Homo-oligomer: A and B are copies of this chain.
């Protein structure tokens, strides 16, 4: 395999050239949410879509190791180069950079997800994992989610804020590993009170698997769960969303727990 350098955006971008924006998601390329995201930012940059060919919710940071991947050129969004991919959201970002763009885009956007990705959801979310993957690759990124799972969800508020945030990202000197987790309340646009920069709430699902028997008498289990917020802070994403703010949590992929690291030092003897 001949190696080729993947150039960084700075080396390729020229003055007055529109930024290259990679768009992906985890609900699949046919989901209304990704169409909303493309529409929201279409005139801001050169958009390229590489997204899963089917829903990939809850895939977290999964990658495909044991089987090969396919890319199919599709016509989904007028005037926008679009590819559907057989892999996970993270696979999409990796393949897009290496085999579609042959360079790093200036920005990677993921979503708009149908459903919340606040608090602990950031860890399970394919939408957010795609954004994190981009940031690992030194591509500033943002994942967008609307707190409405419905296929008929009203994306107007989410579109408005996606555009505002992308414009802010492009006009700010962002660290190359920037990842923003953006969630938008499921409320009419007029009721949204603006952006709140937050921390991730300690909130999680309390599991309750539903147990059923198949026609042969054998048990099977469906994952369900009740969402419980254990975090009473007013600086969290869950608080902001409950109070009609658009929550923005900057995310990092260095998972080191530094405070605990210091405490465990005596284990070295």
List chain A positions with a Cβ less than 8 A from chain B.
Answer: 1, 3, 6, 55, 57-66, 68-71, 90-91, 94-95, 97-99, 120, 122-124, 129, 132, 136-137, 165, 168, 175, 178-179, 194-200, 202, 204, 206-212, 218-224, 248-258, 260-261, 264-265, 267-269
Query: Could you name 22 residue pairs across A and B whose Cβ atoms are closer than 8 Å?
Result: A1-B224, A60-B60, A60-B62, A60-B63, A61-B129, A65-B223, A69-B209, A69-B220, A70-B220, A94-B223, A95-B209, A99-B221, A120-B136, A122-B255, A123-B136, A197-B261, A197-B267, A199-B256, A249-B255, A251-B256, A252-B255, A255-B255
Which of B175, B197, B269 is A268 in contact with, Cβ under 8 Å? B197
**A61, A98, A196, A268 pick with most chain B CB within 10 angstroms:** A61
Q: B220–A253 contact, CB under 8 A?
A: no
Partner of A61, one of B123, B250, B260, B264: B123
Which residues of B are found within 8 Å of A129, using beta-carbon distances? Answer: 60-61
Contact at B223–A91, with CB atoms within 8 Å?
Answer: yes
